[in-house]
Amino acid sequence: MTIIDQIRSRNGDVRRPLIMGVLNVTPDSFSDGGLFFDTEKAVDHGKRMEAEGADIIDIGGESTKPFSDQISLEEESRRVLPVIEKLVKSVSIPISIDTTKSEIADRALAAGAAIINDVSALRFDPRMAEIAVAYNVPVILMHMLGNPKSMQKNPQYRDVVSEVKAFLLDAVEKAAAAGIKKANLIIDPGIGFGKTVEHNLLLIKHLKALTDIGRPVLVGASRKFFIRSILKTDDQEPDPLSQTVEIGAQAVVAAALLNGADIVRVHNVENTKATLKIIQALKSA
C-alpha cells in the first residue's frame, strides 16, 4: 500500500483527493515570502494546516519562482531542517520536502520527512533517485521547461498537453529504471513552470490526458501568475494574498479535481477543504 493509499484509508475514503498544504520557509517566495521564515511561525502554520484538513505538508526552503537563483545547500538546510524536526513531533500527517538537492532530501528524510517533491523530476541532481530508493519513499516528478531562472523566457510548445505527457511518461520510466517503485511515483504537470497563461489553462482543462499515465496526478496552481493575470483589472495585477486571487485559486482547484487530480497543492487549506467537499458531493450525486 502506497503512502497515498495509507492517507486515504486513514480518512475512511480511499477515493478522496488529498490536500497538500504549502509551507514556504523562504524570504522571497512570490505567494507568501517571509511570512513563515521564522521557525516557530512555520511550525505553528504547519500545525494549523493539519487542523484545517491538510493531508500532507510540503516544506520548501528555496524559492522556485520565475527568474529566481539557487541558494546554497547549507542555507537551504538551515531553513528547513529545524522546521521538519519540530513539526514531525507535532503533527500526524506526512511531511514532504520540496527540493532538487539530494543532500537536502537525505537530511530531511532522516529528520522525519516522508515524501520527496522534486520540481526537476530527478534531472538536476543524479543522486536524488538513489536517495529515494534508499528511503523507499514517494517521489513527485514535475514537468518544468528549463530551470527557474530561464523557464518563463518565452516558453513555447507545439502541443503543450502531449509534450508534457511525453515528458512525464519518460520521467516515470527513468525513475523506475533507477530503482524507484512505480507505486511510489506521483506526477505533476508543473503549472506555472515554463508555461504561458494559455498553456496552464490547457493543461488543467485536459488533465485527464495525464491520468492515463496511471500514476497519481498532483496539481499545484495556488496563487500563481496565470490566475492573477486573468483577474487583473485596468492592467493592475491583484496581490497574491488578496481574496480575489484566493477565489480564482479555488476555481482552479475545483476544475483540477473535476478533471481527475488526486492531490492539490495549496496555500489555503481551509478553503480548499470546503471546495473539495462540494466537488465530492457533485461527483456522488
Residue 253 has which C-alpha cell? 482547484
Active-site entry in 8, 195, 224, 228? 224
Distance between CA atoms of residues 11 and 5, nearest Å:
10
Catalytic annotation present for 224: yes
Active-site entry in 182, 265, 277, 283? 265
Distance between CA atoms of residues 120 and 155, nearest Å:
16
> Strand, helix or coil at 191?
coil
First-to-last C-alpha distance (Å) of the chain: 29
DSSP secondary structure, 60-117, as one string: ESS--STTPPP--HHHHHHHHHHHHHHHTTT-SS-EEEE-S-HHHHHHHHHHT--EEE
- Cα–Cα nearest to 136, from 112, 169, 158, 114: 114
Q: What are the CA-CA distances from residue 193 to residues 133, 224, 285 (Å)?
A: 26, 10, 35
Distance between CA atoms of residues 135 and 28, nearest Å:
30
| Residues 137 and 2 sit within 8 Å (Cβ to Cβ) | no
Distance between CA atoms of residues 165 and 219, nearest Å:
14
Active site residue ranges: 224, 265
